[in-house]
Each structure stands twice: as C-alpha cells, then as structure tokens.
Chains A and B, each alone.
Chain A
Amino acid sequence: MIKKILIIDDDKIFSKILRDGLIAGGEGKYEVIAAFDGEEGFDVAIREKPDLIMLDMMMPKVTGIEFLRRYRKEESGKDTPVIVETQLSDLEKMSEGVELGVRGYIIKSDYSLDTILRQVEDILK
C-alpha cells in the first residue's frame, strides 16, 4: 500500500531534495506531496490526510509549533505521526513538540537521507 507523506517546509530546495530522496529511496512505496508554509500545510494536511508529516519548525506566517497545536485539535490530525525538521540550536525548544506527539526529528544542517529513510520506514511500518 502506498503511503502518503506531506512535507511542510518553506525552503523549496530542501523540500525538493527530501522529496526526491524519499521517492527514490522508497522505491515506489511513498507518495510525497509538499506545502510551503504552515497555513497551506494545514489545509493540505486536512484535505489529503497524509500518513506522515515532515514539518519544518521555522516558517513564516504559521510556525511549525503553531501548526502542530492547531493540527492536533483536528480529528484527522490527532494521531498522524510527525517528524520535525529543526536546527541543532533549537533542539532545546522541542519539549513542547514532544508533548504534541512528535515522533522524530531531523537536524536540517546535518542530515543523511539514509537515516531519514530508516526513520520514515520505522514509523510507517
């Protein structure tokens, strides 16, 4: 069964690399869609009901945390697994993310596609 992954990130290049990596590494297991800010991400998440969300924490308009707070109140967003993309320096701020059911994180400046693939696979198993 094909799993739907939603990437919410304002960094279009990062988003594209991640998308290409997930599609290539998933060997047809994943359908990857993207949204470029929290606002749009929220609408897409409600509409598309993804199986996993890769969420950037630092975004204009609606930040990652704000997205999570809103999304967790929705019926379809209650249990959706979320992996956040963040900076090493912001890891300490993640405690609220943990409370909001974040399942994993990617350090944006130092990530490896293999690790991300493994993380995604684990969660979607």
Chain B
Amino acid sequence: MVPRELLPIIVVLITLYLVVIAFSYWGVHRIKRGVYAKDTEIKRRLYELAILKEIADRTGYSLNIKKILDVIVGSLNQFLEYSVVSYMLLEPSKVVFKADLERSVSISFIKDIRTRMLGSLSALLGRDLSAVEVEETITGAIMMGVTEEPVRSYFNIPLVIGDQLVGVLTVSHTKAGLYKESEMEILYKIVNQASQAVSKLEDVVKTEQGKIAAMLESMLEGVVMTDLDYRVIAANPAAEAVIGYKGEGVPTIFNFIDAFNESLDIRSKLEEAIKLDKVLTINEVIFNNKYYQVVVSPVKSNIGLTRGQTLGGVIILHDVTHEKEAEKMRNDFTSMIVHELRSPLGNIKKIGEMMRSSKILEDKQASSEYVSMLYESSSSMLDLVNDLLDVAKLEAGKFSVEKSSVDIKEILSERMKFFEATARDAGINMNLIVAEGVPNSVSVDAKRITQVLNNLFSNALIYTLKGGTVTAICFLHKKGQTISDEALAVSAPWVSDSMSLDTTILPDSVVVAVTDTGEGITSENIEKLFNKFTQFASSTRDSEHKGTGLGLVIVKGIIDAHGGVVGVGSKLKSGSTFYFTIPL
C-alpha cells in the first residue's frame, strides 16, 4: 500500500506525466501537421511548375488557347479530384465545348454542365448564347451503364486573354461538398499564368505584325504577297495605287494580272519564281505611262518548323519613272549642248572655206559680212562655254563673287541703254522705274550683276511681242512687307510671285525686277526654269537669241552667292516678272 501522505505527490506526478505526454503528443502532432502542410505546399508548387513547364514545352510559342487548355485539362487529375473537366471556348461563329471524363458520368450530367457553362458564358458576356451552335467533343471514360447521378460539385473559372473573355474552364463531381474557393487557388494560378502568357505573346505578335504592316503601308514600292496558289494575302496601298484598285478589301491576283495584261505576265513570273526558287528582276516594265522595275521573288519561312519552306511569292513594283526621266533629261541636255557647240563651229569652218575658195574677199561688203558672222559664231560658242563653266563651278560649290561698293541703279540704267537698240528693232517699249530711297552704294559683284541683268533683259525681250513693254524696276524691300505690295506701292507693273515665296521674312534688301508683257510661263515650266537639265526642253528658243538655256540657272547661282533670292511671277498671255534681291 502506498502511504497516504505520498498520495498527493503521486497524483501530482501522474498529472505532470499526463500533461507532459499530452503536450508532447500535441507538439508532435503540430510538427507533423506543419510538415504535412509544407509537403503539400511543395507538392503544389512543384505541380504548378510542372504544369507550367509542360504548357510551355508542349505549346511552344503557341497562340492556340485550345492547345494550351488541352494540356491543362490533361494534367489536372494529378492535383484535383473531379468526375469531368471541361472547357468552353467562344469562336466567331460557334462555341467549342470539350469535356474530358475522368469517371463515367451520365449523359444528363454532361448536358447539365454544358447548360451551366453556356449560362455562365452568357452571363459574363451579357448576351444570350442559347441559339449559338455548340461543337461538342467528349473524351475519357465511357458513359455506358452508369447510374444517373447529378452534378453535386461544380467549379467555374473564366478564361480571360488580354482583357477579353474567351471562354470558361470547369471541374465537376458527382460527390457533394468539393471545390471550396480556397482550394481552387492553384487552378486560378495555372489558368491565369497560361492566359497571361498567351496575352503577352499576342501583344508581341500584334506589335510585330503592326510594325510590318506599318512598314508595308508606308513603302513607296508596291508590294503584293501571295500564297502558293497565287492568292493575294497582302497588298499595300502603293500596290493598289499602281493598278488603280479602289475596291473594298484586298485586291485579287486577277486585278494585277488584268492590269498588267499588256506589259507583263505576272502569273507566269510568279510561277517561275516559286517553282524555280529564284528572284526575278524585270526592268523597264511600261505600264500606265510609267516605268516600273518589277521584282518577283519566292517567300520563305525563317522560323519554326516551316523554316526554309516556300510560303508563297512576293511582287515588288518599283516606280523608276523619275530615274528614267532624269536619264532622258541628261541625254537631251548632252545632245543639246553638243548641238549648240557644233552649229557655230560648223559655221566657222564653212565661213573659212567660203572665204578661201570664193571671191568673197574681193567684195568688201561681203567680206565684212562674213567677218561679223565669224565674230558672232565664235562669240556664241564662247558664251556657251563660259556658261557651262559657270554651271560647273556652281555645281562644284566653287562659285564665288568679288564684291565691291557700286551703284546698282547705274548698272541697271546702263544695261537698259544697251538693250534699247534691240528693243527698238523688235518694236518693244522699255521703261525704267527707280523708287526713292535706293542707296547709291551696294556691295555686289558688278560684273556678275551685269550678267544677271543681261539674262533677264534678253529673256524679257525674246518673249515679248511687238508693241509690248519691258519694264526694269528697282526699289527697297523692308523686312515684314511683301515684295509685291512694295512693288505696287511704287506703281510698278508686277506679276505676283508664282513660286509662293514668303517675302516678308526676307531682310531689308534692294529689289531689282524685270517685268514683260510676253506670253507668260506655265506654272509647270516655272519649276523647270532653274533646273539645268529641263531649261532647254521648256524654252522656246529664239533664233536670234540663241541662249544657252543655262542663263537662269546661273542667275540663281549668282544671286545665291550674294545672299539674295530670285523670284518669278507669271501669268499666261499677260506677262512675267523676274526679280532678285540683294540684302543690304
């Protein structure tokens, strides 16, 4: 027997023992629970990673949400318990419904989830989908001989890609009480990550496509891309403009074949390029009065599994009309120069021959006539050579002026006198208007300004008919005023500027102008006036003033070198004003 006085101690010890056992049991349990939770968490994480990795591996850079969902659906059973996993996707004209049966369920079970999913899609979209065609695919456990068991647990996740609802993913079970919101976190994560990946990829693709589309749109060359059956996949606005296509949507290859009918067999060129796998360049295709260089080339894939495979063909239409015109202009220019040099040279030779062989030298009048012909011919050659040299200097940037203080009014009236004789012979009146306030001393290259005036006067006299008037004008320009207003203020005959030059921004200058009452120049030809190559073609040269046609090119060069501007105003059948400014 245990002594009575020991009893309380024993009781205390037993109690302590029990407490210790209880505590240790509880502690171990807690640790166990913790370990278990951690283990589950790690398993979940690993699973999540595995799923995501699998998604990434199996879908690659796929934009196909169906493929990605199939991967998710195929691996979800490792984590969640369900009878059926299903998804529903919205497509332009239908809804795709796919159910994967983990366990056998009844037909009405499937019908039920289908109805529920369509219902939630309709609710999410805010539009009724009950009338839309549903394409159904059912895989997995067979449904034969199963007991009618209803849907007792059901969980629904919307599929959103790039802020747009594309469908729903659902798990369902015949057992009740499953799928609490907290347990479904992992499913959310998977779906979210998958849809984010797709969104990002879509963005990248969109940006890239956008870049390519923008590049194609802005290209000056017409670009047409076709598939292997020569169907047009894309054509940029420039290509549409070439054939004058104004229809809706992408033109067909027949639009191009028909348009180029006469000039080029586009279809056979495409066939050749694709079948022989080579780039064809067809130069000088003349179409609609324009020259094109046409390049037809096969298009090959350079990414993914299709790398190196021919996807179709591309036609590039390069408008080379400008180049052709420039080439023609250069040739015309050269032959004109040759002509201009040859004619006087041929004449000089012939004059010499005549003077040597015939009795001209004995006839005083005839011989003096021939001597002046020699003088004229050699002068016109020399003028041309000088002009050519000036233009060459201008183009080389080596044109310089030697300025000194001179009275520009004096140069002007002296040139007037020089041309008066010619004007009188042609029956043309000449006037001089010099406004008050023009300084007596301006810093210019007197020789070069004389050359400018010679050009302006002789041009004016050439194009003015008998009875017309050529007026030389000299006045001051103040910054902020327009030159034409200032000309009118001194009552000078003036044809307003056709070159849309803003004269208000010009600094204070002396303006010198020559206005004629000639035939005028078309605006198209005004643009050509100062171009070395086009001047010849546009000018109606006069027999007596066989100008080199380079005159205005040189005029502009001289005035540029003085820091001034040259302006032209012209009105057909009524006359022209040519002016230049010399900044003070």
Question: B-contacting residues of A (Cβ < 8 Å)?
Answer: 10-14, 16-17, 20-21, 24, 36-37, 58, 60-61, 87, 89-90, 108-111, 113
Contacts and interface: CB of A to CB of B under 8 A. Distances in A.
Contact of B343 (A11, A20, A21, A89): A11
Contacts of B541: 10, 60
B543 interface: yes
B543 to A, nearest CB: 4
B462 to A, nearest CB: 10
A111 B543 contact: no
Nearest to B377: A13
Contacts of B377: 13
Contact of A110 (B344, B346, B543, B544): B346
A36 B541 CA distance: 12
Query: What is the predominant secondary structure among interface residues of chain B facing chain A?
Result: helix
B94 interface: no
B542 A109 contact: no
**Most chain B CB atoms below 10 A, which of A10, A24, A109, A110:** A109
B376 to A, nearest CB: 7
Interface of B: 335, 338-339, 342-347, 350-351, 353-354, 358, 369, 373, 376-377, 540-544, 546
Given A89-B335, A111-B346, A17 B351 contact: yes
Contacts of A108: 342-343, 346
A108 B339 CA distance: 9
Given A60-B540, A60-B541, A61-B540, A111 B350 contact: yes
A12 B544 contact: yes
Contact of A17 (B350, B376, B543, B546): B350
Contacts of A13: 344, 347, 351, 373, 376-377
B337 to A, nearest CB: 11
B272 to A, nearest CB: 34
A63 B120 CA distance: 86
B185 to A, nearest CB: 88
Nearest to B339: A87
Nearest to B351: A17
A91 to B, nearest CB: 12
A11 B347 contact: yes
Which of B338, B346, B369 neighbours the largest number of chain A CB atoms within 10 Å of its CB? B346
A17 B542 contact: no
Contact of B346 (A14, A61, A89): A14
A87 B373 contact: no
A14 B353 CA distance: 13
